[in-house]
Amino acid sequence: MGKSIESMFSLAGRTALVTGSSRGIGREIARTLAMAGARVVFHGSCESEALREAAAECGGVFVVGDLTTEEGVKSLIESCQKAVSSIDILVLNASAQKYMTLGEFDETEFQKEFQTNVGATFQLVEAFSPAMCERKWGRIITLGSVNQQRPSPRLTLYSATKAAQMNLTANFAKTLAPYGITVNCLVPGVILTDRNIEPLKDDSYRQKVLALVPGGNFGEVEDCAGAALLLASDAGRYITGIELPVTGGMHL
């Protein structure tokens, strides 16, 4: 007798940490994991009304920590360890992004994006994977970007950090597979969140970007949530080391 759909996707008894879940894609992923039965730890760069609301809506708890510094990540890890006994599902969603192209090198931004998008990934996996290894079950999901596959001239640095993060994802997938831990990268195309409001106000830019999407429309946060649930649940237990595009075909 096969498993029921409910049991394949149930996260009952699991605890998840979703970084950057006060808003946008992270918030919707966190809400979906909670609907599937997980206890969820929400996270934001600092305490905010949005963060409090997001956690309260799902009966979750929240922690804060600025991922632009190693100390900020350490503080997030400590708060999380105080709030819950263990993390089974780690969603590395928060990122830093600035439009910056060749000829605009900025040392401060370089450090910030590499620490937030790559360094914090390393630190958080290092902190939470040993207990997953002991329990022989874990799910790690990184949030990549279509720019790791199709580098954008306007997002030179960001594209490089996401490509580096994907390399870490594949590396961790191989290292942690013997312990029942899957590590995958969910790759959004253009999703309508706060970070895209300003750039997409420019109609000619909007039309130019839209022309790159074969599906002909931008994505919604909900489009990423189902993909995350697949990777987080037992339904996805044999999937590891992949880049899963949620792009309307933009990666092609």
Residue 66 near ligand NAP by CB under 6 A: yes
Number of residues that bind ligand NAP (CB under 6 A): 31
Residue 46 near ligand NAP by CB under 6 A: yes
Q: Which of 48, 75, 81, 156 binds ligand NAP (CB under 6 A)?
A: 48
Residue 149 near ligand NAP by CB under 6 A: no
State yes or no: is 158 an active-site residue.
yes
Q: Which residue is catalytic, options 99, 158, 179, 238?
A: 158
* Shorter beta-carbon distance to ligand NAP: residue 7 or 167: 167
φ and ψ at 191, to 5 degrees?
-115, 140
Task: Name the 3-class secondary structure at 181.
Answer: strand
* d(C-alpha 247, C-alpha 204), whole Å: 20
* d(C-alpha 235, C-alpha 6), whole Å: 10
Residue 123 near ligand NAP by CB under 6 A: no
Q: Which is it for strands 61-64 and 243-246: parallel, antiparallel or unpaired?
A: unpaired
Q: Which of 140, 181, 183, 190 binds ligand NAP (CB under 6 A)?
A: 190
Question: Interacting stretch for ligand NAP, rule CB under 6 A, among 30-38, 87-95, 103-111, 170-178?
Answer: 87-95
Q: How far is the CB of 45 from ligand NAP (least distance, A)?
A: 4
The Cα-based distances of 99 to 55, 155, 196, 216, 218 in angstroms read 31, 5, 11, 24, 19
Residue numbers 219-248 binding ligand NAP by CB under 6 A: none
Residue 116's Cβ-count burial label (10 Å; 0-12, 13-18, 19+) is buried
Residue 24 near ligand NAP by CB under 6 A: yes
Displacement of CA 38 from its chain's centroid (Å): 17
Question: Interacting stretch for ligand NAP, rule CB under 6 A, among 22-30, 101-109, 170-178, 205-213?
Answer: 22-30
Q: Which of 145, 169, 182, 184 binds ligand NAP (CB under 6 A)?
A: 145
Tokens of 214: 């074969």
Q: How far is the CB of 23 from ligand NAP (least distance, A)?
A: 5
Q: Which of 30, 94, 166, 250 binds ligand NAP (CB under 6 A)?
A: 94
Would you report the helix, strand and coil content of the chain in percent, each value rounded to 5?
A: 50, 15, 35
φ and ψ at 13, to 5 degrees?
85, -5
Q: Please name which of 13, 4, 2 lies closest in space to residue 135, comparing C-alpha atoms.
A: 13
Q: Which of 11, 16, 17, 25 binds ligand NAP (CB under 6 A)?
A: 25
Residue 44 near ligand NAP by CB under 6 A: yes
* d(C-alpha 135, C-alpha 72), whole Å: 27
Task: Give me the active site residues, please.
Answer: 158
Binding site for ligand NAP (CB under 6 A): 20-26, 44-46, 48, 50, 66-68, 93-97, 116, 143, 145-146, 188, 190-191, 193-196
